[in-house]
Amino acid sequence: MSSPSREQWNSSLGFILAAAGSAIGLGNIWRFPYITGQNGGGSFVLLYLIIVFTIGLPVMYLELSTGRFTQRGPVGAMEKLAPGSFWKIIGYLAVITGIGILSYYSVVAGWTIWYFIKAIFQGFGGENTGTAFSQFVASAPHQLVLLGVFLGLTTGIVISGIKGGIEKISMILMPVLFLLMIGLIIYALTLDNAAAGLKYYLIPKTSDFTKTTFIFALGQAFFSLSLGMGAMLTYGSYLSKKENLVKAGFLVVLFDTLIAIMAGLIIFPVIGGAPEKAGAGLVFVVITELFCTLPGGRILGALFFLLLTIAALTSTISLLEVAASWLMDEYKMVRKKAALIVSGITFVIAIPSALSLGASKSLSSIIKIGGEEKGFLGIMDFLFGNLSLAIGGLLIIIFVVFKWKLKNAEDELYHNADRFRFLSLIMKPLIWFAAPAAIMVVLGFMLFTGKTLS
Question: Which residues of this protein are in contact with ligand TRP, per CB under 6 A?
Answer: 22-23, 25-28, 101, 223-224, 226, 229, 231, 315, 318-319, 389
Minimal distance in Å, beta carbon 355 to ligand TRP?
Answer: 22
β-partners of residue 374 are: 367
What's the rounded Cα separation, in Å, for the pair 248 and 11? 11
220 and 447 Cβ atoms separated by less than 8 Å: no
Minimal distance in Å, beta carbon 204 to ligand TRP?
Answer: 23
Q: Specify the residue, 232 or 290, whose C-beta has the smaller distance to ligand TRP.
A: 232
Q: Which one, of 427, 395, 394, 392, lies nearest residue 409 by Cα?
A: 427
What's the rounded Cα separation, in Å, for the pair 413 and 422? 12
284 and 135 Cβ atoms separated by less than 8 Å: no
423 and 246 Cβ atoms separated by less than 8 Å: yes
Q: Specify the residue, 23 or 285, whose C-beta has the smaller distance to ligand TRP.
A: 23
SS3 331: helix
Name the closest residue to ligand TRP (Cβ): 27
Q: Specify the residue, 59 or 132, whose C-beta has the smaller distance to ligand TRP.
A: 59
Q: Specify the residue, 23 or 198, whose C-beta has the smaller distance to ligand TRP.
A: 23
Q: Name every residue whose Cβ is closer than 8 Å to that of residue 406 and which is 6 or more positions away in sequence.
A: 400, 428, 431, 432
Minimal distance in Å, beta carbon 400 to ligand TRP?
Answer: 18
7 and 238 Cβ atoms separated by less than 8 Å: yes
Other C-beta atoms lying within 10 Å of the C-beta of residue 425: 8
Q: Specify the residue, 243 or 381, whose C-beta has the smaller distance to ligand TRP.
A: 381
Q: Specify the residue, 133 or 255, whose C-beta has the smaller distance to ligand TRP.
A: 255
61 and 68 Cβ atoms separated by less than 8 Å: no
Minimal distance in Å, beta carbon 33 to ligand TRP?
Answer: 12
Minimal distance in Å, beta carbon 21 to ligand TRP?
Answer: 9
164: enclosing H helix or E strand: none
Minimal distance in Å, beta carbon 207 to ligand TRP?
Answer: 29
Other C-beta atoms lying within 10 Å of the C-beta of residue 296: 9
Q: Specify the residue, 257 or 364, whose C-beta has the smaller distance to ligand TRP.
A: 257
391: left (phi over 0), alpha (psi -120 to 50) or beta: alpha
Minimal distance in Å, beta carbon 171 to ligand TRP?
Answer: 18
What's the rounded Cα separation, in Å, for the pair 392 and 356? 27
Minimal distance in Å, beta carbon 258 to ligand TRP?
Answer: 13
Q: Specify the residue, 93 or 270, whose C-beta has the smaller distance to ligand TRP.
A: 93
